[in-house]
Amino acid sequence: MDLADCTACPRLAAFLDQARTRFPGYFCRPVPAFGADAPGLLIVGLAPGLHGANRSGRPFTGDYAGVLLYETLHAFGYASRPVSESADDGLVLTGCRISNAVKCVPPENKPETAEIKRCNGYLKAELAALPEGTALLALGLIAHKAVLMALGRKQGEHPFGHGAVHPLGRHTLYDSYHCSRYNTQTRRLTPEMFRAVFARIRDRSREQT
C-alpha cells in the first residue's frame, strides 16, 4: 500500500481521524521521509509528534525534538539552515535523509509493538533502496530495534547504547539517545554528546573513502 493511503493500524488511523477534526490545518497523514534520495546518512527517529511532524508533514519539524537535530545537521554540513520551521521553508538536506520507525503519530507518542512491526515494511523498503555504505543513525531504542528488524538482524547481537557502532554488512548502524525534550532537559543527552556521534560518523566515513 502507498504510504500516504496507509490505514493498516486501526488505533493510529483512528487517532489521525480525531486529529484531523481537532486540528484541521495539520498534515495528519503518514509522514514521509525527508532529504536526499541517495544519502550517505539516514537518520531514523521514533514517530511523528502530534504538534510536530504530524502538523508540518516533515520529520522533526515544528516540535522541540527537532531543535538539536537540525542545529547539528547544519553544523556538520547536512542542512542548509539550522532551523526547520515548516515543510515549505526552503530548507535542503544534502547527503542526509530523515525517516521514522513509525510513520503515523501514536497516542502519547507511544507506538505499540504490533504497529512498529506493521510499519516496518516501509522502513525495510527505504533501507533496501540506500546506496551501499550508507550510515544509519538510530535515535533511541525503538528506532534501533526497527532498523535491525528491517535488516533481519538479531536484536541480542546488537545491543543499543548511546555512541555504539554496529557494522551490518552493507551499512553501519550508529546509536544515539533520542533528542527529545525530556532527554535534553535532563541532560541525558547533551549537545556535546550528540555532536560526538555525528563526528564519529563523519570520521568513519572518511576512513572508508
Per-domain residue ranges of the chain: 3-208
Best CA proximity match to 66, nearest among 51, 77, 76: 51
Q: Which three cell numbers stand for residue 172?
A: 553501519
Q: What is d(CA 161, CA 65) in angstroms, rounded to the nearest whole number?
A: 19
Q: Which three cell numbers stand for residue 6?
A: 496507509
- The share of the chain scoring above pLDDT 70, in percent, equals 99
Q: What is the pLDDT of residue 206?
A: 74
pLDDT mean over 49-65: 96
Confidence check: pLDDT of 45 > 90: yes
pLDDT mean over 22-36: 97
- The share of the chain scoring above pLDDT 90, in percent, equals 96
Q: What is d(CA 175, CA 159) in angstroms, rounded to the nearest whole number?
A: 10
| Confidence label for 207 from pLDDT (cuts 50, 70 and 90) | confident
Fold of the domain spanning 3-208: Uracil-DNA Glycosylase, subunit E (3.40.470)
Contact 59, 73 (CB under 8 A): no
Q: What is the pLDDT of residue 209?
A: 59
Confidence check: pLDDT of 53 > 90: yes
Alpha helices in the chain (DSSP H): 10-22, 53-56, 65-75, 113-128, 141-151, 181-185, 191-208
Distance between start and end Cα atoms, the chain: 37
Best CA proximity match to 19, nearest among 111, 99, 105: 105
pLDDT tens sequence across 117-173: 999 999 999 999 999 999 999 999 999 999 999 999 999 999 999 999 999 999 999
Four-residue CA torsion sign, 26, 44, 133, 2: negative
Contact 73, 79 (CB under 8 A): yes
Which 8-state DSSP code applies to residue 186?
T
pLDDT tens sequence across 70-120: 999 999 999 999 999 999 999 999 999 999 999 999 999 999 999 999 999
Q: Quick count: other Cβ atoms within 10 Å of Cβ 23?
A: 14
Q: What is d(CA 116, CA 52) in angstroms, rounded to the nearest whole number?
A: 19
Q: Which three cell numbers stand for residue 161?
A: 547504547
| Confidence label for 198 from pLDDT (cuts 50, 70 and 90) | very high
| Confidence label for 204 from pLDDT (cuts 50, 70 and 90) | confident
pTM, whole model, 2 decimals?
Answer: 0.96
